[in-house]
Chains A and B, each alone.
Chain A
Amino acid sequence: MSASLLAIILLGLSALAYYVGRSKALRGASAGTAVRLHSLPVYYGTYVALWVGLPALAVAVLWLFLEPQVIQALLTARLPEEARNLDPARLSLLIGDIKNHAMGGVTSTELTPALQTVADYFSSLRTIGVYGMTTLSVAAGLAGLAVAWRHINPAFRARHHVERAIRIALIAASTIAILTTVGIVLSLLFESIRFFSLVSPFEFLFGIQWSPQTALRADQVGQSGAFGAVPIFAGTLLITLIAMLVAVPIGLFSAIYMAEYATPRFRALIKPILEVLAGIPTVVYGFFAALTVAPAIRGFGEGLGLDVASESALAAGLVMGVMIIPFISSLSDDVINAVPQSLRDGSFAMGATKSETVVKVVLPAALPGIVGSVLLAVSRAIGETMIVVMAAGLAANLTANPFEAVTTVTVQIVTLLTGDQEFDSAKTLAAFALGLVLFVMTLGLNVIALRVVRKYREKYD
């Protein structure tokens, strides 16, 4: 509530500043006829509005960022002696309870009178916080208005200043991609390091026993959990392999047909239909795999006298392959089309048939691009989540039999992180370690694939 109210106040203030700046510049210009504005009036208004809006916004953001820490420290100082000596996790739980209580939410325990005073203190702090933030940020905006006001005169080069601000904003926008990558890497690394302080990286990468469920009591079986991730990696690779066996031939042959044989009308009709396959949400594929494909495979296997698990690697892999077909076909289509016509003409001139030209000339020329697209597809298959969550199994199973249930990296991340659990057990942290492995694997594949594709493209340009 307070944040949106503040936003409205600041917007109003900026609009006012725009009007004030613009009219001051215009007044200056019309006073003496010889004086002309350096920039369009819009820029004077914008200049002042920026000077009001940006400082105010900066103060508000800074306040929102610092407030929780300050409140935490103040509350801790007010807590009774025995509560302050709790370990950090319990302490933060207690403070969370106090905050909930003050805001009228649900609490896990009844508060003692001593804690009740802390809760009241928290309420008053919150009120102070809201008013403090509003006052300070409005003050910052007014200070900015004062500074900008003094700058405005007809000779002032308002456009240059405004454009510099826009340029900085443009640069900032384009660095968000870097910030996102940094955020991903840091968050994964940070949690993984915590995980590896509990479980040795060697055990994680080379152990063959995966059972992350930890028992409640120390004397129970499996009380420590086992975090050997090899079965998970093996399951991921098995499903990826099956998916590739489906997607590569179908995708590649349809790309060849589309690029070399299809009439323009056929192409215009079929290509968008194939793209539909790429636009279908993966959760739909997952449902399809679980509802239709898995029972069909099971029935088929039983007909042959095979023992098929109801959640088999084959079902998940097949459907994932279907999902990837349009990906491979459209990327390969692009690279095949990029092969210059002169190569084909040369081959035809030597008397080769179309298929011989394709196999012996076009495909070798397009090979790096095709390899790149297959690598990208592999990376996509490894990172794909919903199909395997819905159609592959949960139990880590070290097997090469496609009729058995296996589990994958993404399935484990989802199962470890959905549901209620505390945030510093090895079990939840393991998900981040798996996420790190997934990120590193797909990043490596992507970098190689993008390199290969780009290098190849340059050759014929």
Chain B
Amino acid sequence: MTDVLAGRSLADSVARARLSKRHRAERRFKYYGLVAIFAALAILSVLLITIVGTGYTAFQQTYIQVDVDFRADVIDPQGTGLESDLRSANYAVLLRDGLLKHFPDVEGRTDRRELTRLVSSGADIRLLNMVLGDPSLIGTQQQIWVKASADLDSFIKGQIPRDVPEDQRKVSDQQVGWIDALAEKGLVEKRFNIDFFTSADSREPEQAGILGAVVGSLLTLIVTLVLSFPVAVMAAIYLEEFAPKNRLTDFIEININNLAAVPSIVFGLLGLAVFLGLFGLPRSAPLVGGMVLALMTMPTIIIAARAALKAVPPSIREAALGMGASPIQTATHHVLPLAMPGILTGTIIGMAQALGETAPLLMIGMVAFIVDVPGSFTDAATVLPVQVYLWADAPERGFVERTSAAIMVLLAFLIAMNILAVFLRKRFERRW
């Protein structure tokens, strides 16, 4: 008896040791899963924090107040008042003189040039536009806030550190001295960068904005939606409601599934060879971009629409058919409206993908540098993600924060679209 007990307790302790080992393994396994999830979340937050951290400064822009004397002898020496004369005048001189008022002791060409480099190279255009808008300014003195140059802007925002040796930063010690003196007089100010939202691309970071890319994205997405939505819904209705089970429909199905997984750049090659090469459509145009993206998003919408149609219970169809509706009437009057929320959700998700797509648009030439806001579907245009790509490649320091800011705008659009999709799903979700 005791032997047996002793044996049992031995076996027991061995079993217990094994059990606790197994439980430890169990806990470890569970932690691996948690670690994996939190690793993914951590990477996501690092990504977002980096983007926001480098990008939020782009929403502010440094301005310098300059006391500009609109001298008639510079702007309009002949006194003609003609627009062509006003346009050809040298407004940079006025700016320089305005700056020189604060630093009368600056001598020599190089130093003066250094001084004018404090303000944006586009500032003289601003003066020109002011004069064109109100010619009575000629001969008056005005205190005007003009944009600081991009390098100076970065310096004031602290992106170019002060303690770096002079030859390793773009802002010279002299310029630092000037700007400090101006700041002391309260002539340097950071303001909300409205131009970032109201102007198109530019070579100068301080003048570059995203409006052109936003409008380009909008035009492209309109083309994509108009082409892909009806065709995809029609295809889904056919496959789900009418298609006989045969070789052809099988082949169509395999094709749709494959197309959903074809690399996007291949669609770009298709667009390049067929739309540009064969049909001779214009390069860089939202029309072609939209067509390529439509082919890409169509499989996504078809798959979502089929799932939505499948979710409509057969009783609806049987009731409609029983009341004498034709199969097409059943599909269009009864099944389709009930499936619409699901189809719309899938469409929004497809559009969100299209909005973020870059590679196929590079193939059809939407990487061009375009300063104008596109006005029609055949104008040369760029889209937001391509703008991000272009700015990410730009060597100027000021474009780093603008790239991040453009990404923030892009993500804001995407999040808005996804929230809309979730809202639609929640609002119209139906249990049969």
A270 in the interface (beta carbon within 8 A): yes
Quick one: CB contact mask for B223-267 with A, threshold 8 Å, 1 for yes?
Answer: 000000011101101110011000001011011111101111111
Does B33 lie within 8 Å of A354, measured CB to CB? no
Does B259 lie within 8 Å of A163, measured CB to CB? no
Residues of B within 8 A of A274 (CB): 37, 40-41
Does A273 lie within 8 Å of B35, measured CB to CB? no
- Kindly state the separation between the CA atoms of A277 and B363 in the bound complex, as whole angstroms: 25
Which residue of B35, B232, B263, B410 is within 8 Å of A385 (Cβ)? B263
B385 in the interface (beta carbon within 8 A): yes
Residues of A within 8 A of B388 (CB): 281, 283-284, 287
Quick one: CB contact mask for A270-305 with B, threshold 8 Å, 1 for yes?
Answer: 100110110111111111101110000000000000
* A/B pair count, beta carbons within 8 Å: 255
Does A435 lie within 8 Å of B392, measured CB to CB? no
Known: A174-B239, A249-B36. A410 touches B265 (CB 8 A): yes
For the complex formed, measure the closest distance between the CB of A195 and the CB atoms of chain B, giving whole angstroms.
12
Quick one: CB contact mask for A355-367 with B, threshold 8 Å, 1 for yes?
Answer: 1101100000000
For the complex formed, measure the closest distance between the CB of B305 and the CB atoms of chain A, giving whole angstroms.
11
Known: A280-B411, A287-B403, A439-B266. A187 touches B273 (CB 8 A): yes
- Kindly state the separation between the CA atoms of A281 and B363 in the bound complex, as whole angstroms: 17
For the complex formed, measure the closest distance between the CB of A337 and the CB atoms of chain B, giving whole angstroms.
15
For the complex formed, measure the closest distance between the CB of A68 and the CB atoms of chain B, giving whole angstroms.
7
Q: Which residue of A lies closest to B326 (CB)?
A: A163
Residues of B within 8 A of A124 (CB): none
Does B358 lie within 8 Å of A386, measured CB to CB? yes
A190 in the interface (beta carbon within 8 A): yes
Does B235 lie within 8 Å of A176, measured CB to CB? yes
Interface positions of A from 227 to 280, Cβ below 8 Å from B? 249-254, 256-258, 261, 270, 273-274, 276-277, 279-280
Known: A174-B252, A270-B41, A410-B359. A439 touches B262 (CB 8 A): yes
- The majority secondary structure among interface residues of chain B is helix
B371 in the interface (beta carbon within 8 A): no
Residues of B within 8 A of A176 (CB): 231, 235, 295, 298
Known: A177-B255, A292-B50. A281 touches B392 (CB 8 A): no
- Kindly state the separation between the CA atoms of A389 and B385 in the bound complex, as whole angstroms: 14
Does B258 lie within 8 Å of A385, measured CB to CB? no
Does A187 lie within 8 Å of B274, measured CB to CB? yes
- The majority secondary structure among interface residues of chain A is helix
- Kindly state the separation between the CA atoms of A354 and B50 in the bound complex, as whole angstroms: 38
Does B235 lie within 8 Å of A173, measured CB to CB? yes
Does A414 lie within 8 Å of B26, measured CB to CB? no
B176 in the interface (beta carbon within 8 A): no
A181 in the interface (beta carbon within 8 A): yes
Residues of B within 8 A of A118 (CB): none
Does A291 lie within 8 Å of B328, measured CB to CB? no
Does B269 lie within 8 Å of A432, measured CB to CB? yes
Does A442 lie within 8 Å of B414, measured CB to CB? no
A418 in the interface (beta carbon within 8 A): yes
B412 in the interface (beta carbon within 8 A): no
Does A432 lie within 8 Å of B273, measured CB to CB? yes
Does A354 lie within 8 Å of B26, measured CB to CB? yes
B39 in the interface (beta carbon within 8 A): yes
A151 in the interface (beta carbon within 8 A): no
Interface positions of B from 1 to 45, Cβ below 8 Å from A? 22-23, 25-26, 28-30, 32-37, 39-41, 43-44
A128 in the interface (beta carbon within 8 A): no
Does B263 lie within 8 Å of A183, measured CB to CB? no
Q: Which residue of B lies closest to A454 (CB)?
A: B257
Which residue of B249, B254, B272, B418 is within 8 Å of A417 (Cβ)? B272
Residues of B within 8 A of A353 (CB): 22-23, 25-26
Interface size class of A (residues with CB under 8 A): 35 or more
Known: A250-B36, A385-B358, A414-B362. A170 touches B234 (CB 8 A): yes
Residues of B within 8 A of A191 (CB): 273
B160 in the interface (beta carbon within 8 A): no
Does B269 lie within 8 Å of A435, measured CB to CB? yes
Most buried by B among A174, A276, A285, A287: A174
B373 in the interface (beta carbon within 8 A): no
For the complex formed, measure the closest distance between the CB of B222 and the CB atoms of chain A, giving whole angstroms.
15
- A residues apposed to B, CB below 8 Å: 68, 159, 163, 166-167, 169-171, 173-178, 180-181, 183-184, 187-188, 190-191, 249-254, 256-258, 261, 270, 273-274, 276-277, 279-288, 290-292, 322, 325-326, 329, 353-356, 358-359, 376, 379-380, 382-386, 389-390, 410, 413-414, 417-418, 423, 431-432, 435, 438-439, 442-443, 446-447, 450
- Nearest 8 CB-CB pairs, A to B? A383-B263, A257-B33, A281-B356, A187-B273, A253-B36, A173-B234, A355-B29, A385-B359
**Could you list 27 A-B pairs, sorted by A, with CB under 8 Å?**
A166-B328, A167-B242, A169-B234, A174-B239, A174-B243, A177-B256, A180-B255, A187-B270, A190-B273, A251-B36, A257-B33, A258-B33, A277-B43, A279-B418, A281-B358, A284-B407, A288-B50, A291-B400, A322-B47, A355-B26, A380-B261, A383-B265, A390-B392, A410-B263, A413-B265, A438-B265, A450-B257
- B residues apposed to A, CB below 8 Å: 22-23, 25-26, 28-30, 32-37, 39-41, 43-44, 46-47, 50-51, 54, 230-232, 234-235, 237-239, 242-243, 249, 251-252, 254-259, 261-267, 269-270, 272-274, 277, 280, 295, 298-299, 302, 326, 328, 352, 355-359, 362-363, 365, 367, 385-386, 388-389, 392-393, 400, 403-404, 407, 410-411, 414, 418
Contacts A177-B256, A287-B403 supplied; 17 other A-B pairs, CB < 8 Å: A171-B238, A176-B231, A180-B259, A188-B269, A252-B36, A256-B33, A277-B40, A279-B356, A281-B358, A283-B356, A283-B386, A283-B392, A288-B47, A322-B47, A382-B263, A435-B265, A439-B262
